[in-house]
Amino acid sequence: GPLSERRLMDVRLGELPAWLATCNFSPQGLLGGMQKAWSSYYDKYINVKRGGPAGITMLLAGYCILSYSWNYQHISKASFLGSV
């Protein structure tokens, strides 16, 4: 279909800048994009009849990685004597 209506995973690498240009970067647009991303994740992994651990473990792993990246500066400065 047309470029603006395709999801990110269906966009080829060469078309990425064009696709980014068609994106709506206003607050409503960003909010809508986040809403869509969350609802697609939710419908795929959590809102099912027999879900497994995958639904929340992926969220927790993402949270771990995100908080590690936020605290990276502080962690990397840890003194030698204090660790272990």
Partner 1 sequence: VLHSARPLHTTQQSLAPLPPLPEKGGEVRYGLIPEEFFQFLYPKTGVTGPYMLGTGLLLYLLSKEIYVINHETVAAACILSVIIYGVKKYGADVAAFADKLNEEKVAKALAVKNEAIKGLETAIEQEKKEQWRVEGRNYLFDAKRNNIAMLLEANYRERLLTVYNEVKKRLDYQVAMQNLKRQKEQDHMIQWVEKSVVQSITPQQQKESIAKCILDLKALSKSAQAAV
In the complex, the residues that contact partner 1 under the rule CB under 8 A are 44-55, 57-58, 61, 64, 68, 72, 75-76, 78, 83-84
Torsion-angle region of 75 (φ positive above 0: left; ψ -120 to 50: alpha; else: beta) = alpha
CB-nearer residue toward partner 1: 37 or 46: 46
CB-nearer residue toward partner 1: 26 or 49: 49
Q: Which of 82, 62, 58 is nearest to 70 (CA)?
A: 62
Please work out, in degrees rounded to the nearest 5, the angle formed at the alpha carbon of residue 24 by the alpha carbons of 21 and 28. 165
Q: Residue 16 CB, nearest distance to partner 1 (Å)? A: 16
CB-nearer residue toward partner 1: 10 or 31: 10
